[in-house]
């Protein structure tokens, strides 16, 4: 059965990225919409009526509103029929996905919004956590003989991890350089044609740490929750 799928988000490279990557990888059609384009209202007016008052949210068949990016990832995996059926591997994948997702704060807001001295301070403050979590992730990849975290083909946990590791390059490219197995993981993900094509065509995030903007249809827009 084909569903109408609408992914609602803002102008930032953050929690909608893994769902977008997984939609492209699984070749599931969806519409990508800014909150103000979907609701024709400012975010402050929309927010109180969203189930968990934050985005991304996936609207299914104009009827079901699914918040929480991890819930959206699990839904896409189920819809595509690539969910991990072995209970132990499934639990392992969930632990990886949640551990990668914990990198969200403060990595994503810093890369998307912080400027100047604040950017540098936030980067320095989060560095020990990033190094420790990257080390954990690298250890898991090294301990199995698979290309990705669970199988030789990526699953939801790989896309969530990919997003945060990839974003860390915009915080400081030298962090990931310390982890060759994670770099290989990024390379392997980026060499998948559907992923490469998504990455090549997505809005570019520019002027990070100065005045971050997303280049949408050739026009640079300040990152944020407001229509520009
Ligand atoms: N745990 C949630 C976090 C969602 C979240 O933090 N969304 C932010 C953008 S990345 C948001 O909606 N910010 C606007 C607001 O809180 O008003 C998820 O994984 O989806």
Q: Are 223 and 214 in contact (CB under 8 A)?
A: yes
Q: How much is the pLDDT for 51?
A: 98
Residue 139 — very low, low, confident or very high, per pLDDT cuts 50/70/90? very high
Residue 30 has pLDDT above 80, yes or no: yes
Q: Please work out, in degrees rounded to the nearest 5, the angle formed at the alpha carbon of residue 20 by the alpha carbons of 1 and 132.
A: 130
Q: Are 77 and 62 in contact (CB under 8 A)?
A: no
Query: How confident is the model over 55-71, as a mean pLDDT?
Result: 98
Q: From the CB of residue 196, how many other CB atoms can be counted at a distance below 10 Å?
A: 13
Query: How confident is the model over 47-55, as a mean pLDDT?
Result: 98
What domains lie within the chain, and their CATH numbers?
A: 5-81+200-222 (3.40.30.10), 87-192 (1.20.1050.10)
Instruction: For the chain, list the strands marked E by DSSP.
Output: 5-9, 31-34, 57-60, 64-67, 204-206, 213-216, 219-222
d(CA 103, CA 9): 19
Residue 127 — very low, low, confident or very high, per pLDDT cuts 50/70/90? very high
Residue 159 has pLDDT above 80, yes or no: yes
Write out pLDDT tens, residues 3-13: 999 999 999 99
Mutate to test the pocket of ligand 1, among 14, 15, 44, 226 (most ligand atoms within 8 A of CB): 15
For ligand 1, atom 14: residue with the closest CA: 54
For ligand 1, atom 16: residue with the closest CA: 54
The whole-model pTM stands at 0.98
Query: How confident is the model over 63-75, as a mean pLDDT?
Result: 98
Residues 6+ apart with CB under 8 A from 108: 12, 13, 14, 15, 164, 167
Residue 1 has pLDDT above 90, yes or no: no
For ligand 1, atom 13: residue with the closest CA: 54
Phi, psi torsion values for 204, nearest 5 degrees: -80, 140
Instruction: Calculate the CA 107 to chain-centre distance.
Output: 12
Write out pLDDT tens, residues 77-120: 999 999 999 999 999 999 999 999 999 999 999 999 999 999 99
Is the distance from the beta carbon of residue 130 to the nearest atom of ligand 1 less than 6 Å? no
């Amino acid at each position: 059965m084909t569903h109408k799928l609408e992914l609602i988000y803002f102008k930032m490279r953050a929690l909608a990225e893994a769902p977008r990557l997984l939609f492209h990888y699984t070749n599931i059609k969806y519409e990508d919409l800014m909150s103000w384009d979907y609701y024709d209202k400012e975010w402050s007016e929309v927010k109180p009526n969203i189930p968990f008052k934050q985005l991304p949210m996936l609207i299914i068949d104009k009827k079901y509103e699914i918040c929480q990016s991890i819930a959206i990832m699990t839904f896409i995996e189920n819809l595509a029929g690539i969910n991990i059926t072995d209970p132990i591997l499934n639990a392992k994948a969930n632990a990886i996905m949640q551990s990668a997702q914990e990198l969200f704060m403060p990595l994503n807001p810093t890369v998307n919004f912080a400027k100047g001295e604040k950017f540098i301070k936030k980067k320095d403050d989060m560095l020990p956590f990033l190094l420790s979590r990257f080390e954990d992730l690298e250890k898991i990849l090294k301990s199995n003989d698979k290309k990705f975290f669970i199988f030789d083909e990526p699953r939801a946990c790989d896309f969530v991890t990919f997003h945060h590791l990839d974003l860390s390059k915009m915080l400081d490219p030298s962090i990931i350089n310390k982890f060759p197995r994670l770099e290989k993981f990024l390379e392997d993900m980026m060499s998948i044609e559907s992923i490469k094509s998504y990455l090549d065509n997505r809005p570019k995030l520019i002027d990070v740490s100065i005045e971050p903007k997303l280049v949408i249809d050739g026009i640079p827009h300040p990152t944020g929750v407001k229509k520009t």
